[in-house]
């Protein structure tokens, strides 16, 4: 099936939603390396504000790509982790990188 407008049912849009938004691919890259706490993610991405990080994570959780667990006690510790669905994004991130490299090479010729 094909579409003549952006639709949430189109697989392309589903995949796009997962990697959309500033910082999204960088957050995902970090999570590809294993579970991370909120602070760990912030340390790795110092210029990313708490608000935007929260937005990205909420979105990923809502899409079923990331899960979050909280340690009991105080202070709280969180652990964000890719779900099986989230791991399916790895080939897409790889392809984004490869395509970008190819474009840099091709465009450098002229």
Partner DNA sequence: CAGGATCCTAAAAGATACTG
Partner DNA sequence: CAGTATCTTTTAGGATCCTG
Binding interface with a copy of itself (CB under 8 A) = 2-6, 10-16, 18-19, 22-23, 25-26, 29, 44-48, 64-65, 84-85, 88-89, 91-93, 95-104, 106-107, 110
In the complex, least distance from residue 21 CB atom to DNA, rounded to whole angstroms: 4
Choosing among a copy of itself, DNA, none, which partner's interface includes residue 4 (Cβ < 5 to 8 Å by kind)? a copy of itself
Integer Cα distance of 92 and 101 in angstroms: 14
* Nearer of residues 11 and 73 to a copy of itself, judged by Cβ: 11
In angstroms, how far is the first alpha carbon of the chain from the final one?
Answer: 37
Q: CB of 66 within 8 A of CB of 31? A: yes
For residue 50, state whether it binds DNA (rule: CB under 7 A): yes
Query: Could you tell me if 14 and 86 are in contact, meaning their C-beta atoms sit under 8 angstroms apart?
Result: no
Residue span binding DNA (CB under 7 A) among the ranges 26-34, 44-52, 82-90, 99-107: 44-52
Residues in the chain: 110
Pairing of strands 66-70, 78-82: antiparallel
- Extended strands (E) in the chain: 66-70, 78-82
Residues at the interface with DNA (CB under 7 A):
21-23, 37-40, 48-52, 54-55, 57-58, 68, 75-78, 80
């Amino acid at each position: 099936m094909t579409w003549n407008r952006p639709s949430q049912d189109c697989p392309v849009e589903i995949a796009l939603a997962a990697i959309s938004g500033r910082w999204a691919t960088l957050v995902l890259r970090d999570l590809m390396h294993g579970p991370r706490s909120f602070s760990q993610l912030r340390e790795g991405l110092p210029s990313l504000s708490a608000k935007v990080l929260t937005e990205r994570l909420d979105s990923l959780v809502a899409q079923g790509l990331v899960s979050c667990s909280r340690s009991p006690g105080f202070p709280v510790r969180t652990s964000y982790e890719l779900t099986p669905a989230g791991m399916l994004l790895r080939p897409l991130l790889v392809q984004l990188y490869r395509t970008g490299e190819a474009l840099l090479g091709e465009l450098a010729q002229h």
